[in-house]
Structure 1
Amino acid sequence: MNMLEYSKLILEKVSFDAGLFENELRKSKRNLFKNEIDDLRNWCNDRFGERYKSTIQKHLGVRAEK
C-alpha cells in the first residue's frame, strides 16, 4: 500500500469527525508528492466535497478546471 492509498484509508476512517479529518488531511499533505496531492484533492472533493469543502480547499487548494 502506498502513502496515497494509506492516506485515503485514514481519511475514510476519521471522516466522522471534522477535527480529526482536518488533522489527517494536514498530515497527508506533508507525506505525499505533488502529483499525489493533486490526486488526493480530487478524491477528497469527490468523496467529501459536500461536507468538508472548505477544509479541503484550505489544505489542498482548489481543484484545477479540466
Structure 2
Amino acid sequence: LLFSCAGRKMIAGTRIAEETAIVRRALPGVPFAGFYCYGEFGPPAWRHPFRLHGTTFVCLLLRET
C-alpha cells in the first residue's frame, strides 16, 4: 500500500507518477495500490511522541507467512 501526501501531488504535479515508477522498479512483480492523504502522523524516531508530518510518502509492505 502506498500513501502519498496530497501536498506532494500539489508540489510535483504530473511528476508524481515518478513515485510509483520507483516502487515498481524496486519491487518488480509486486502488486500495489494507494491513495493521497493529508495529515500523516507518526513518531520522528523510535520512542518519540507522535507528530504531524507533511509531504511524506509511506509504503506499507505485507506478506503471507
Common topology (TM > 0.5): no
When Rg is computed on C-alpha atoms for both structures, the one with the higher figure is: 2
Richer in helix (by share) = 1
Q: Which has the higher contact order (CA 8 A, sep 6+)?
A: 2
**What is the TM-score of this pair, normalised by structure 2?**
0.31
Richer in strand (by share) = 2
**What is the TM-score of this pair, normalised by structure 1?**
0.31
